[in-house]
Amino acid sequence: MAAPHLKHTFANIHALRGGKPELGDLALSDYHLVFRFPPESLTAADPNLKKSVKQVWFAFHIISQCTLRPTPPSSGVPSSIRIRFRDFTYVSFNFADDKEAREAFEFIKTRTCKLGSVEKLLAFSYRPPSNSPESKINGWDLYDVRAEFRRQGISEKSRDLGWRISTINKDYSFSPTYPALLIVPSKISDATLKYAASYRSRQRIPVLTYRHPVNNCTITRCSQPLPGISFKRNIQDESLVSACFSASTEFAGGASPDMPVESPPPSTVDLMIESENTDASMSDIQNAEDELTVGGTILYDEKTGKRLIYGAQQQNLIVDARPVINSYAMQAIGYGTENMEHYKFAKKEYLNIDNIHVMRESLEKVISAIKDADVSPFPPNKELLAKSKWLKHISGILSGSALIAQRVGIQHSNVLIHCSDGWDRTGQLSALSQLMLDPYYRTLEGFIVLVEKDWLSFGHMFHLRSGHLSHEDWFTVDGDALAGTAVKPGENDGRADHFENAIAGAKRFWSKKTASGKEAVTDADGTPIETGVEPAVAENMATRPKDISPVFHQFLDATYQLLRQHPTRFEFNERFLRRLHYHVYSCQYGTFLFNNERQRHEARLHERTRSVWAYFLSRRSEFTNEQYDATVDDHVRGRERIIFPRCDDVRWWHQLFNRTDDEMNGDLNALAATAERVAAYQQASSSSELSGPVDAGTPDANSNPSSSRAPSRTSVSPTRSPQPPGLAATAAGGSVLAGVESAHEVLTPGTRSPAPLNQNAAAGDPTSTFAALQERISGLSLGKAMFGGGIGGSTGRSSIGGTGSDSGRNSQNELVEQEMRSMD
């Protein structure tokens, strides 16, 4: 990036990260904070130091918490600014001059949360250097909706596979948060779509997002229906859902003749996983598939003796991502879930994935566990990490996505996904299940297409969930510092003279009032800084802390888990995911600005901003996975088309949190190693027993073709590793399935068994205080590089947004209120 136009420079500032100070100069521009070290005062005296000068850039827009800690000049302790960034970088800057600290704080605040308009973000000013590789790539042209669905076999010129491209939303008047082009069943007219739209929240009707190239089975997505307390129904919606589920059978016949070569060859294996065993873990499913593809076994039903045909037992599925009680509670205000009496062609399953508020609170607890790494080299607080339940949530999302991938890719069934409005949990499940099903999406270009299609095009509210215009609550002045506290390891706390400090603090209140009654920002000499009239922020663009949630962050985290578990199946590497997370918040590119396709179109982002994909594609070598194997062969273990997660093998994404693997995952890795040793011992013991006399009750191997029958769950299931604290057994070992409802069960309520309404309790005992302290002391990593290539620490004082409480989770009113807030 070109050198910034500097507005202010502060000399000889101490920056702290990981408890290690570094002396340098701090420069502020309109969009960046730039720290240069060694400082000019040293390089001027020693010309040899100029060769070692380094710069670290911090974008203002990724600040999630900035705290000024002023101290009286008489205390002899420097004032400081502590900053937590969205990429979990934590830095403190110590100022010898208290007025300079205040001036820098106010400048950063003005350039961050007082912009008033999206068009004042960095993306509208950024241009890559001329003649650079990035400047020669137009990332906006990478995703073409018609080209992507042509790859899936659907276009106006190809043969009819049961789907067509509708332009009913070409001007975004039909559904403002949906894409302009919608893929709908061929036999459903636009007139029917208009009637069906009134029955779905925000007119987000069921539309296609993925078609399997082999079996023509599909993943469709939508928002929740609107039955309300009167249990209203809509014939057109029922016909639309029925048509989505019947297209695969009416127009079956495999891939389109014009399927591009970049789509890897599909699987042709015969395999069927018993539909009633929906609670089985994805590890079992993967092992069963592996056993078949490698060994060529023919499967037979144990009861009837008939051969099991891959996909013959099709069972279409409506997936409601919400907890059961949340779905039914929404009926009180006119929303709700499908009455399966009117959708008899499918079953419905609830995945018990919590809403945006629970996820935000979970991340806040993670931040609390790693919050002091700017001033301390201590490892994270393991108890707080466990209490966050973050890994449980990631495991649950993966498990639900794997259930969908299993139904489509293994059982040849169709799946319709929704949550409340269909742009948060629905996006996670839809994108992750496609990532498991299709190797194309595991390439660099394919993953970009997946993000464009299922996140940007389908209206995930990046602006609302990310808070790009920041919020004044994120900028605070720590009054406790008036007593003399400073952020500098080894310093005396300076609280000897409270009265003197209080008087000095009062004199230091140098912000002057303007005629309008607003505070004027001044420099160190008291001269007002021209900031202009603070612009009003459009209501729909203003940052609302309680609407911020790490939804897309969780998708990237879940993708990281798949990449870690299947390191040869992804073309991109971990750093690609980490940098993508950074640029969601950096506002350097226009890709993630605004909330939906319509708003981006109206803002003409294609013309006025650059696309983040040009940044990645111009640096392909930096983001390419060296272990990637593009070969797809379903008869070779490790090269199968479909991949599934091991939900009991979820780990902290330690690189994202700027920590080492041992700091974040030491306990989990130790548990896994123990489990492997136990499994090896059990296997050895089992082999020893088998070599002994045959038990009288053991049937003769030749008495029936049991060796060709479908393997039981226990026969292919690996030994489970002990569950770590904070990772619930249901989320770690199997599906997050919370309830199943079919037409038969609705008509015969006596056969229904109550499903658990909530599974949020953490499992495992917390680490004792003494043990945790002992572990932190022994795990100190002193002498880390502060701004080098090594893994550093992280910190932050308060949460990204508002707080909530779990105490009222059993209250229907609070559930409704939470779900309503998540639908904004």
Binding residue numbers for substrate: 355-356, 419-425
Characterize 724-750 residue by residue with b for buried, 16 or more Cβ atoms within 10 angstroms of its Cβ, and e for exposed.
bbbbbebbbbbbbbbbbbbbebbeeee
Q: Give dist(CA 349, CA 321) in Å, integer.
A: 8
Q: Give dist(CA 255, CA 264) in Å, integer.
A: 12
Number of C-beta neighbours around residue 266 at 10 A: 20
Could you tell me the end-to-end alpha-carbon distance of the chain, in angstroms, rounded to an integer? 36
Q: Which residue, 331, 227, 199, 321, is CA-closest to 815?
A: 331
Structure-block tokens of residue 701: 């191997």
Residues 535 and 115 sit within 8 Å (Cβ to Cβ): yes
Characterize 667-700 residue by residue with b for buried, 16 or more Cβ atoms within 10 angstroms of its Cβ, and e for exposed.
bbeebbeebeeeeeeeeeeeeeeeeeeeeeeeee
Q: Which amino acid is at 458?
A: F
Angle between the N-to-C axes of helices 190-197 and 235-250, in degrees from 0 to 180, rounded to the nearest 10: 130
In order, the DSSP letters of 385-404 are HHHHTHHHHHHHHHHHHHHH
Q: Give dist(CA 420, CA 786) in Å, integer.
A: 44
Number of C-beta neighbours around residue 36 at 10 A: 17
Residues 6 or more apart whose CB falls under 8 angstroms from that of 516 comprise none
Q: Which residue, 26, 25, 27, 28, is CA-closest to 39?
A: 25
* Cα 585-590-591 angle, rounded to 5 deg: 80
Residue with tokens 């023919």: 298
**Per the residue annotation, which of 66, 419, 587, 647 is the catalytic one?**
419
User: Is 419 in the active site?
Assistant: yes
Q: Give dist(CA 551, CA 298) in Å, integer.
A: 42
Residues 408 and 747 sit within 8 Å (Cβ to Cβ): no
Q: Give dist(CA 64, CA 366) in Å, integer.
A: 14
Q: Give dist(CA 535, CA 703) in Å, integer.
A: 84
The 3-state DSSP class for residue 779 equals: coil
Question: What residues are labeled active site?
Answer: 419
